[in-house]
Structure 1
Amino acid sequence: MANIVPLNFEHHLQMRVIESKDFTRFASQHLIPVVFHEFHHLASEFPLVFVKNTETGQFIPVAMMGIKPDINLYCQNSNWPASVYPRGFNNAPFSLVKPSKDEDNVLVCIDTESPLVSADDDSGHRLFNDDNQQSEFLKKRTEALLEVAAFTEQTTNICQLLASKNLFTAKQLTVKLLKNEQPINIDGVYVIDEQLLNQLEDEDFLSLKRNGLLPLIYAHLVSLQQIGRLIEKQNQYDSNH
């Protein structure tokens, strides 16, 4: 069980954190939220699609890491098999928490039950120096958390802009696997409709260009070709299980 608490030197002076590419904590999460700022490098490995929050109606970009729900094909063991991974994977065991909705300030928190937290004096990075000041490691990790938070907010704004131009369209992905007699239909996925994009009024299209969004949109569209890679990985997984 997680135990997420605000980080402070009084309680965590000797605490250390191990850096690891063991992402098995995502083993049952086949859709991983991502931000637009990482589309270019993630598109070389994962299909990047959108899902819709049923409560808020907001669109959220995700990297598909599995064909079947509850199976992340990349995170079944501790050896990460790809050359790229989402920024958010590096957050653990840290997180940012707002004390209240009305405050702009955030607290840096840590999951003290995380396997990345070490009690060994010889392993991991210290979070605080002997003078009670933040270590360089903690400063860099905090900066990375704040950067991801800023990117997430910007991603929300970009999705709202694209939705306002009615560019999202629902797409049912039909996948045929070797061990399944019937094709699998993947529902609840949205993509940017290239035809609607090309039909935009000139001013709307140019506004996307001025805001640097066209390369991100095209990275998303190109990434859909990676569905074939996922099918191959699913077939390999099914043959071994």
Structure 2
Amino acid sequence: MTKITPLNTAEHSGISIIESNDFSRFSSEHLIPVVAQEFVSLATEFPIVFVKNAETGRFTPVAMMGVKKGINLYCQDSSWRTGVTPLGFSNAPLSLMKTSEQSDEVMVCIDQSSHLVVDAGGHRLFNDNKEQSDYLKARTQALLDIASFNQQTASICQLFTSLKLLEPMQLSVKLINNEQAINIDGVYVVDKKRLNELSDEDFLSLKNRGVLPLIYAHLLSLQQLSRLIEKQNRYDLSL
């Protein structure tokens, strides 16, 4: 259970936050939302694909961390053994929330039920004068940066949609411990044929917005599917 409340000095002046590479809270999430700014770094480890919201029709980029739904192969225990980490993994126990539906102003909230919240021994959120600590200021700025990155990523996905660049990925995977192949569906990738057939004007619009490196990183990341399948086989054999 979570207990998320707005951060304030009256309630939280005496608590601290510890940092941990235990991301086992994501153990059942095989698709992790990411932002465009981390495509290049994450592409060295994870396939980056897109998923479509059935209600809005909008696309979101995600890092595939499992072949089977409900199993994140990287977060089954408390150890994170990979050199790259999605930005969103480091948010907890802090988050941003709008002050009202009509306002663009946000406030910092904290999940008081998180194991990362401690009474002593961690990074203080407020100093003795009940002013924000440098640590809290840095964490708040990181949250604001990610919020901005999310907006920019949504805009890029809308651009891909307008140019009809995204197509469903059809992939059937045969695992060692499964008699039948597993179909990976519900994910989308950039259509290379469509990309190459863009008009000069549309292609230049991608170039001028700095989007081309992101597309190439995404396409290159699909080579990591073989790594993911091998990891799934090792996981299945260990059970």
TM-score (norm 2): 0.99
- Hey, what's the Cα distance between the residues in 2 that align with 1:95 and 1:89? 12
In the TM superposition, residue 114 of structure 1 has moved relative to its aligned partner by 0.3
| Match 1:190 to one of 188, 210, 227 | 188
Deviation, 1:49, is: 0.1
Note the C-alpha offset of 1:92.
0.2
User: What is the CA-CA distance between 1:104 and the residue it aligns to?
Assistant: 0.9
* In 1: Cα distance, 2:98 partner to 2:174 partner: 44
Say which of 150, 166, 182 aligns to 2:164. 166
Equivalence map 1:13-52=2 (5 Å): 13-52=13-52
User: Aligned partners of 1:173 and 1:91: how far apart in 2?
Assistant: 32
Specify the alignment match of 1:118 in structure 2. Answer: 118
Match of 2:169, SS? strand
What CA deviation, in whole Å up to 9, does each residue of 1:25-53 have, x standing for no partner?
A: 00000000000000000000000000000
Q: How does 1:157-236 map to 2 (within 5 A)?
A: 157-236=155-234
User: What letter corresponds to residue 236 of structure 1 in structure 2?
Assistant: R
Q: How much does 1:182 deviate?
A: 1.4
Instruction: Report how far residue 99 of structure 1 moved.
Output: 2.1
Moved runs in structure 1, 4+ residues, more than 6 A? none
CA-based RMSD: 0.6
Counterpart residue type for residue 91 of structure 1: N
**Stretch deviating more after TM superposition (68-77 or 97-106):** 97-106
Unpaired runs of at least 5, structure 1: none
Structure 2 matches for 1:63-74, cutoff 5 A?
63-74=63-74
How is 1:41-190 mapped onto 2 (pairs within 5 angstroms)? Answer: 41-119=41-119, 121=120, 123-190=121-188
String of CA shifts for 1:55-78, please: whole Å, max 9, x gaps. 110000000000001100000011
SS in 2 for 1:151: helix
2: CA distance between counterparts of 1:223 and 1:44? 7
- Secondary structure of the 1:222 match is helix
Letter in 1 for 2:41: H
- Deviation of the 1:101 alpha carbon: 1.9
- How far is the alpha carbon of 1:173 from its aligned partner? 1.7
Structure 1 residue 215: Cα displacement: 0.5
Aligned partners of 1:89 and 1:189: how far apart in 2?
22
Between the aligned partners of 2:125 and 2:47, the Cα distance in structure 1 is 36
Provide the C-alpha distance between the structure 1 equivalents of 2:64 and 2:151, rounded to a whole number of angstroms: 21
Distance 2:141 2:94 in 1: 11
TM-score (normalised: structure 1): 0.98
Partners in 2 of 1:196 and 1:169 — Cα distance? 9
Give the unaligned 5+ runs of structure 2.
none
Total equivalences in the alignment: 239
Aligned-partner SS, 2:222: helix
Question: 2:210 & 2:99 partners in 1: Cα distance?
Answer: 34
Q: CA deviation at 1:183?
A: 1.1
How much does 1:176 deviate?
1.1
